[in-house]
Amino acid sequence: MEIILATENRHKYEEISRILDKHKILLPSDLGLEYSFEENGKTYFDNAFGKALTLHKMTGKPVIADDSGLSVIALEGAPGLYSARYGSKEAGRMLSDKEKCQLILEQMSNITDREAFFVCNIVYMTSPYRFFCFQETVQGKINHKPVGENGFGYDPIFFIDEYEKTVAELEPNFKDKISHRGKACRQLKEVLQNEKVNKLRSEGSFPEEF
């Protein structure tokens, strides 16, 4: 199946394409589209749904949209919904991933409770009135310094005790198995498989007893 991903973030594209490897995932730019969406929702779902609806109206095609973020307990859930643009208002510009990680580390410098979690909400839409939503998390804590070269965003400072590594130290395929985005995408993968089976059955090219 051909599905358009509502982002121009190449890192998200690579992760989602790895998991949904039986499907052709396209970016808006692959279709010559200029796509943008202002993330002003009050929840991850608000943002993911808004992204999906905007792109679906532009294309009329099946769309996947993702909104995700890091929540740090000691920072009252920040950066949360503002993870992608954290610190930008104060700086007067968008911070790089490295700068955002450093900002979190500075804010956590004298804090011992370092519990945190990632959230990912994914919306798969085939029409404005037919869509699926999946939201998942992964628990961890804020490391005392960035470690690892893999991943993106806050991965270098997000430490998972069970694996004794930051997410940026994990191999990509292993990250996909345990990450917030990986968990949500695997649920979507099951829905897409069922969609394919139902389509084949409706066309009379799939045995009913399957």
Q: How many CB atoms lie under 10 A from the CB of residue 46?
A: 15
Please report, in angstroms and rounded to a whole number, the separation of the first and last CA atoms in the chain. 20
DSSP letter string, 103-158: HHHHHTTT-S--EEEEEEEEEEEEETTEEEEEEEEEEEEE-SS---SSS-TTGGGE
Q: State the Cα angle at 68 between 105 and 59, rounded to 5°.
A: 145
CA distances from 165 to 11, 128, 158, 185 (A): 20, 41, 8, 22
Which one of the listed residues 21, 30, 46, 67 is annotated catalytic? 67
d(CA 91, CA 86): 10
Supply 200's token pair.
Answer: 């084949």
30 carries an active-site annotation: no
Kindly list the catalytic residues: 67
